[in-house]
Each structure stands twice: as structure tokens, then as C-alpha cells.
Structure 1
Amino acid sequence: MTNSPRYADGHWTVESATADLQNRIVERQFQRSDGSQGQLPPAGTLGEQYGLSRQAMNRVIERLKAEGLVETRAGARGATVREWSPLIFLPQQEFDSTPICDADIYTRLVRAAARKGESRIDEVTAMPADTRIQEKLGLRPGEHVAVRRRTNIVDGVPALTDDSFVPLRIVDGTEWMLPQSVERGTNKVLAELGHELVLAIDELRPQMTRDAENRRLALSSSMPAIELISTGFDRADRPVQVTVLTLPSRRNTVVYERRRLTENDGETQK
């Protein structure tokens, strides 16, 4: 173990011990000889290493559990490090024309990867658009947007936040505003309202997760993430929806596919 406390007074805290163990787990310092992940030492042993009480180390382990890094089992002497593969996020699949295209992109990705997934609806509300959303949707100052905030969960671990913004005048009183999942997907609802999304412009920005995202993602502290801001346009070239995703780098890998169109492809699209 690297005995290098993160604070000048030379003492470990619950926060610094959690961050240190996060790094050690990611670096696979607890793996077995066969390469599989192993176990953390018991809380008492870890407490001796970090100069913290058993109770404090139990709090550390609970934070690691909340982040999906470890799991505890009755009778085991230490928490077991979880094997975790990042979700491969493919934004280009939003316009996939497969038979299950009515499902949203997250549902398709989880199905394709044969993983267990669920979406938690955190909030559905209406509010004045902030400056960024107002500009992207071409709204008047003070105009309201409908907002759907959800957290997508993969294999029991909160993997990403997924917040969508649409002009309230388009979806007010429709299923888009229901505080529950829409089985056929909210993009299908927009299409039924005459605003089928046919083009998306994506922006990728590195950032650290913020407090609100940490709470939704069960993170004990901020971590590097990718913010993906996707602006969707309808067939009249009107911006209809802005979706903001926060994808912690340890839990997600963003992959884009680029393809050169042939002359025949161009004819097909006309």
C-alpha cells in the first residue's frame, strides 16, 4: 500500500481513504493470481493501514459498495471487488432502423450487451430554460421547457445521468410529461406529435461530476466524466430536444462509428 495521505496533516480521512481504495481497485491491486478480482482486507486490517477506526472503514466500504466497486457477502472476511465492464455507449444508434427502434438507445445498448438495465425517473417537470438550453432550442427569453431527468442503471450500478429538454409548448399535456418510463420511448412520442427526430448534433466535453450528479450516481466524490450534449432536429430542421448525458469514465466508453457514404447511399437517401 502507498502510505501517502492526501492531506498536509498526514492523517487519512474517510474521504481520502475512499479515494485511495478507488484508485487501487481500478489499478487491480487486489486481483488474484489468475487475473480475476479478489477481496479487500477486512475492515479492521484496512483500519490499521489507514489509521482509521473499524467504524470509519465500514463507512468507506459502504461508499465503495454504493459506487458498485465492491460487494459484501455474509461470512466473508472482506468485501469482494466486483468485476465491471464499462457500458459501450453508441450515440449513433439513436436513429437505428432495427425492429426494436421504438426502444430508446439505452435500452437497445443494454439488450445488445446482454446486461441487466433499468431506468430510474428522478424528475419530470417544467421550468424556465437556462441560457444554454434556450440558445440550443431557439427559445424566447423566459420560455419554459419540459424536463425529464433519469438515471440509467447497469448491473445494479448507476451508470449515467440522462436529462432531456423539450419546449413545453410541444409536449404539455402529453405522455412525454408522465413521471414514469414510456415503453415505446419518448422519441416516438415526439414523432407522433409531428416532430420526428432525424438529425442530432453531439458535443463531447470532459468534466468532473458535480454534486447533483454525484448524488444521483451514488458517487462519494467527483470523478472524471464525459458530458454529451445532443441536440435533436426534426424534418423541418427545427431543434426539438436537447439531451444532456453525464457518463463517468470508469463506467462508460463512448464509441462513434463513421462511414463514408457511397454514391448509391446518396441516391437511397434522396
Structure 2
Amino acid sequence: MPDLPLERIDPDSDRAAFRQIADHLRTLIQRGTLQPGDRVPSEARLMEHYGVARMTVRQALQVLRSEGLVVAEHGRGVFVRERPRVRRLASDRFARGHRARGKATFIAEVEESGSKPTVDTVEVTEEEADADVAERLGLQAGARVIVRRRRYLIDGRPAETAVSYLPAQIAAGTAIARPDSGPGGIYARLEELGHHLARFTEEVRSRMPLQEEARALRLPAGVPVFHLIRTAYDTTGRPVEVCDTVMSSDAHVLQYELPAQ
């Protein structure tokens, strides 16, 4: 296998042979020697190089699959997983300038990264707020809220899902309650309604996806998600939106700029 700088198995190591093979291939992926979309050497070539049985090679590849680094395509082989990344800049992602240009936040970020953003699912309903959402919005439990559910794609691949909750007394009967809320998204519509946005709070944690989340984001085994809950406040201090977002962790880089005070 002269085209790839693979090491040899260390027979004196207490680390199992399949794990050593997985380590070697992982290093090639992390260093960029094997690029996203590249085919991993076939089982036969790995068996020949390492002098191991097919089962040992398959165990090594399964380790990489469980880590979300490779995907198997039936009849074609195993490939390094393509992972387009969007840099999510907390310092300016809600800048009013994006809305002035008619760009919702996700659209602006993805386009800035050089990728193509799309939204393939938009569902709008009016529901009763559950206890958590009601508390975050400063409403009574059971108050009516407009709920917007979306799925966002980057270059045709699912990257995140988001569910926004807005008080019905603000959003009902407005463009916010329509699937297409118009240029600049719901934040532009809120400001047109007189709710000028002043600040946002976000809670972010990493976890493994629920079954329905993995299915919606088409995540292979081993890939965690970022679970982010954001609350938007207007200049009066009133919370006007809660957004519950689940993001594929390997499609996003979260970047924060914090002042030193």
C-alpha cells in the first residue's frame, strides 16, 4: 500500500490489532491525508498490508463508523464522511445588518461559509405552551404560542432542526404564523411589529441524539449533537421567542468572542 503512509501493527502492544488499525486510519483522516469523500483502502488491501484476518479489519472499520468518521456504501466500499462545517459566530450572528439585507441568520452564516443553505421542512401551528416554554416566555402555563418547526440543510445535507415558540398574542395573524415569514425571517417581522431585539441568551450542551433526531439529521452512529436553547428579548426586556435547536456537531463550529472586563 505505497500510496498511504500506514504504519505496521506493533505485536508487543497491549492494544488490540483492530484498534491499532483504527488508530492508523483515524490519524490519516485527522491529518487530511484521507480527505472527505475519499475511499478508505479495501478490506483486501488492509488485510494484505497488516497481515490480519478479514474480521479484524472489519472491527477496525466499525470503530471508525461508530465515531462518525467513515460511512459504508453498499457495493462501493467505505468512504471518509463528508462534513461541511459552518462557523457559527456568536458575536454577530444576530446582527441587524443580516435582516436589513433580507437574510435570516442561518442563510447568512451558511452563504458566508461558501455553502448552499436550504430549508426543506417548515411547519407552523398554534399550540399550548408547555411548562418550560411558558416559563422562558414569561407566560402562564397553557398560554397559546405560535410554533414554527424547520429543518435546515447545508449543500443538501440535513444539518439542524429548530423549533421556535412565540407568544400568540404577538405572532398570531401575522407573517410569523405563515410558513414563509418573508425576507429576514421572524426576527425582521418581530421588529416590524415594534419588538426591537435587544439581547439573546443561549444554553448549549452536547449529547447523543435521540432516535428521531438522528433520523432527521441522518446521523451515523457515534455523532453527537449540540442542543441549544435560545431566548430572544426585546428592548423592554420582554422575552419574545424561545428557539430549541438541535445541530449536527460535525456540521458546525461554535465560535464565541467574549470581552475581557
Say yes or no: TM over 0.5: yes
The separation in 2 between residues aligned to 1:132 and 1:244, in whole angstroms, is 11
- After superposition, where does 1:1-270 map in structure 2 within 5 Å? 3=18, 27=26, 34-37=33-36, 38-40=38-40, 49=55, 77-98=76-97, 101=100, 102-180=102-180, 182-221=182-221, 223-259=223-259
Taking a change above 3 Å as real, the CA distance of residues 30 and 256 of structure 1, as seen in their structure-2 partners, is closer
2:94 maps to a residue whose letter is: F
2:197 match: secondary structure: coil
1:89 maps to a residue whose letter is: R
In structure 1, runs of 5+ residues without a counterpart are 5-20, 53-59, 262-270
* Equivalent pair of 2:34/2:80 in contact (CA under 8 Å): no
* Equivalent pair of 2:125/2:148 in contact (CA under 8 Å): yes
Root mean square deviation, CA, Å: 3.7
* Equivalent pair of 2:223/2:248 in contact (CA under 8 Å): yes
In structure 2, runs of 5+ residues without a counterpart are 1-15, 47-53
Number of residue pairs matched by the alignment: 229
Q: Which moved more, 1:189-198 or 1:79-88?
A: 79-88
Taking a change above 3 Å as real, the CA distance of residues 42 and 232 of structure 1, as seen in their structure-2 partners, is same
Structure 1 residue 134: Cα displacement: 0.8
Structure 1 residue 70: Cα displacement: 5.1
The separation in 1 between residues aligned to 2:57 and 2:69, in whole angstroms, is 25
Q: TM-score, normalised by structure 2?
A: 0.71
The separation in 2 between residues aligned to 1:68 and 1:190, in whole angstroms, is 41
Q: TM-score, normalised by structure 1?
A: 0.69
* Equivalent pair of 2:148/2:164 in contact (CA under 8 Å): yes
Identity %: 29
Structure 1 residue 117: Cα displacement: 1.3
